[in-house]
Amino acid sequence: MIEFRNVTKRYPNGTIGLQDATFTIEKGEFVFIVGPSGSGKSTLLKLMLHEETPTEGEVYVNEFSIHDMPRREVPYLRRGLGVVFQDFRLLPNKTVYENVAFAMQIVEAQPKDIRRQVPVALALVGLSKKAKVYPEQLSGGEQQRVALARAIVNNPSVLLADEPTGNLDPETSWEIMNLLDEINQRGTTVIVATHEKSIVDLMKKRVFNLEYGRIIRDVQEGNYTNED
Amino acid sequence: MKIRTMKYIVKEGFANTYKNLLMSLASVSMVIASLLIFGIFLMLIINFTYNLNRLKAQVEIAVFLESDISQLEAGDIELKIKNDERVLAYTKVSKDQAYAQLMNQYLEDSDLLEGLTPDFLSESFRIHLKNADDSAAFTEEISKLPGVEDVSYPYESLKKLSAVLNWINAGSMVVLSLLLIISVSIIANTIKLTVYARRKEIEIMKYVGANDWFIRWPFIIEGVIIGFAGALASFILTCYLYNLVESYVNTHALEYGINDLIKLVPLGNIGGQIFIIYAIIGVVMGSVGSVISVRKHLNV
């Protein structure tokens, strides 16, 4: 469960990242965060990751209180969160398999668990056959699917995606969104910041509209904007 | 920490050092330069102290008695010296013996001593102390005894030598600290390059929830490898140079007949300690350099 209570984020240079945001996202929800560039979508995700801390208000993610948690606990917060970015962020000198396994190695998982879970994650994103390939030999969509596999391999309860289809063509974007939906069906909370109007309109999920750091609209089964 | 994690960390540390070979070598040479200069000072101190102590032990205290002293008084003084716990050994030099010694010394210019009879000379005791540090107090006490005319001990000269030794000590500490600071910053710079080269990987590690120490350790290992490699190389160089100097000093000391006066500490006696000192300094420099760099550029 994720809860924001009157959260404001002001950056040191004076810009407002988020203004008085209050909402709750229950376990298993699928939420789109939409809005123009600079409206605060990334700030929202960064607050959940403790990449930023709120200037005012309280943020709860799983059992952690982001607004007053010690730094040393941050790794444990993040182990419960999977993250996907617009630019994939794969390691070029590691194979697909190694990229996914890396996420388990650095949290000191058992080797036998790594050998069991990595193939499962790769199968879920449909890349079992490309396990030994290096990222540069993959298309953008495939690279994002590797990133997805890496994000979910540790079984996080929440998956955060920051413009995951920003670098992809429409068809591939759909594949990624369907994968996110599938991951959501399996019980993971999925939060996606995006610009893809057509996808948001068709998927009929909960939608947050952000403008100038404020959540101006929060609807279930919503569209990208008010106009239908 | 689990064993496979340690394996991972050590492996990464070595891999980083190797990938950054040129900068690593530059850092290693800096460590070598620092330790060599430090080593020169260290050797100076060790040998100075060693020779000063040998000198102190060799130097004898001569207690000259008044020439008209009675046998009884002389006996008293001898008893005092004999029973003093600080005294290692003493010999009594009679007037005749002193005369004979003098004649012996001026064998070729014996005309200088013409007219001199043993009666002009005074009886003396030649004393060796167990601990040269007691000399000052002992000299002071004995000179106050009645019947003692003069006590000779090259106290001032030895004090000057000790002062020189202290200056060398202080100087080497200053030089060492300067060199340490320079080396540490150069190592920090090398590690910074690795941090920069691996920033993507580190970012991913942070997002996936790696512990700070899990991220830090490979860099610290890298610093330790650089520091230790530098220590090892400078130890070998130091041994080589020391042997050169030792044989040079030994042959030339023999030439000038001062081979009894100046003697270098045999390398075998101090080699082990020197290596340990080098290794500790090298490893500490390396790890401090890493920690600084990681703190500054990794934000973990």
Identify the DSSP state of A154. Answer: T
**∠ CA(A190), CA(A68), CA(A73), 5° rounding?**
65
Cβ–Cβ below 8 Å for A89 and B200:
yes
Chain A residues in contact with B207 (beta carbon < 8 A): 49, 78, 83
Same domain, A28 and A138: no
Residue B31: what are its φ and ψ, rounded to 5°?
A: -60, -45
What CATH number corresponds to the domain at position B118? 3.30.70.3040
Same domain, B281 and B205: yes
Look at chain A and report how many structural domains it folds into.
Answer: 2
Report, as ranges of residue numbers, the positions in chain B whose pLDDT lies below 70: 259-260, 298-300
Same domain, B33 and B179: yes
pLDDT at A215 > cutoff 90: yes
Same domain, B219 and B246: yes
pLDDT digits (tens, 9 = 90+) for A33-71: 999 988 999 999 999 999 999 999 999 999 999 999 998
Tokens 């050998």: give the residue: A115
Same domain, A76 and A1: yes
Same domain, B139 and B273: no
| DSSP string for B285-296 | HHHHHHHHHHHH
Q: Which of B105, B136, B153 is the last residue of a domain?
A: B153
Tokens 């000191």: give the residue: A108
Q: Which of A114, A139, A155 is the last residue of a domain?
A: A155
d(CA B128, CA A167): 91
Same domain, B78 and B34: no
Tokens 């893809």: give the residue: A196
Cβ–Cβ below 8 Å for B209 and A105:
no
pLDDT digits (tens, 9 = 90+) for A92-117: 888 999 999 999 988 888 999 999 99
Same domain, B121 and B166: no
Same domain, A150 and A174: no
Chain B residues in contact with A111 (beta carbon < 8 A): 4
B226: Cβ–Cβ under 8 A, 6 or more apart, which residues?
A: B17, B24, B27, B28, B31, B187, B190, B286, B289
Whole-angstrom CA distances from B212 to A72, A73, A106, B284, B300 are 8, 10, 11, 20, 6
Same domain, A4 and A73: yes
Interface test with B, best of A46, A79, A108 (most B CBs within 10 A): A108
Cβ atoms within 10 A of the Cβ of A37, count? Answer: 8
Same domain, A211 and A98: no
Q: Look at chain A and count its residues.
A: 228
More confident residue, A160 or B251: A160
Same domain, B146 and B195: no
Residue type, A121: A
Determine the angle formed by the axes of helices A96-105 and B199-208, rounding to 10 degrees.
Answer: 60
| Ranges assigned E (strand) in A95-205 | 158-162, 189-193
Same domain, A3 and A76: yes
With cut-offs at 50, 70 and 90, classify the pLDDT of residue A227: low
Same domain, B39 and B69: no
Compare all CA atoms of chain B with the CA of A105 and give the residue at the minimum distance.
Answer: B5
pLDDT at A51: 92
Q: Which of A107, A133, A155 is the last residue of a domain?
A: A155
pLDDT at A228 > cutoff 60: no
More confident residue, A123 or B172: A123
Look at chain B and report how many structural domains it folds into.
Answer: 2
Same domain, A74 and A173: yes
A225: in domain: no
What residue numbers bound the domain in which A113 lies?
A: 89-155
Question: How far out from the chain centre does Cα B207 lie?
Answer: 51
Q: Are B165 and B49 in contact (CB under 8 A)?
A: yes
Same domain, B37 and B23: yes
Same domain, B234 and B163: yes
Same domain, A59 and A10: yes
Same domain, A4 and A76: yes
pLDDT at A10 > cutoff 90: yes
Q: Which of A99, A134, A155 is the last residue of a domain?
A: A155
What residue numbers bound the domain in which B139 lies?
A: 60-153
With an 8 Å Cβ cutoff, is A154 touching chain B?
yes
Rounded to the nearest integer, the mean pLDDT of chain A is 93
Of A47, A62, A64, A50, the C-alpha closest to A6 is A47
Same domain, B206 and B278: yes
Whole-angstrom CA distances from A113 to A46, A123, B214 are 29, 16, 20
**Residue B124 buriedness (CB in 10 A; 0-12 / 13-18 / 19+):** buried
Residue type, B243: N
A227: in domain: no
Same domain, A132 and A181: no
Nearest to B2 among A76, A78, A108 (CB): A108
Residue A125 Ramachandran class (φ > 0 left, ψ -120 to 50 alpha, else beta)? alpha
Residue type, A75: P
What CATH number corresponds to the domain at position A11? 3.40.50.300
Chain B: nearest CA to A85, how far in angstroms?
A: 11
Q: Which of B153, B171, B206 is the last residue of a domain?
A: B153
ipTM score for this prediction: 0.85
d(CA B173, CA B41): 9
Q: Collapsing DSSP states into helix, strand and coil, what is residue B208?
A: helix
Cβ–Cβ below 8 Å for B208 and A76:
no
Of B204, B230, B212, the C-alpha closest to B285 is B230
A226: in domain: no
Q: Are B103 and B118 in contact (CB under 8 A)?
A: no
Same domain, A8 and A75: yes
Same domain, A203 and A95: no
Q: Which of B122, B153, B184 is the last residue of a domain?
A: B153
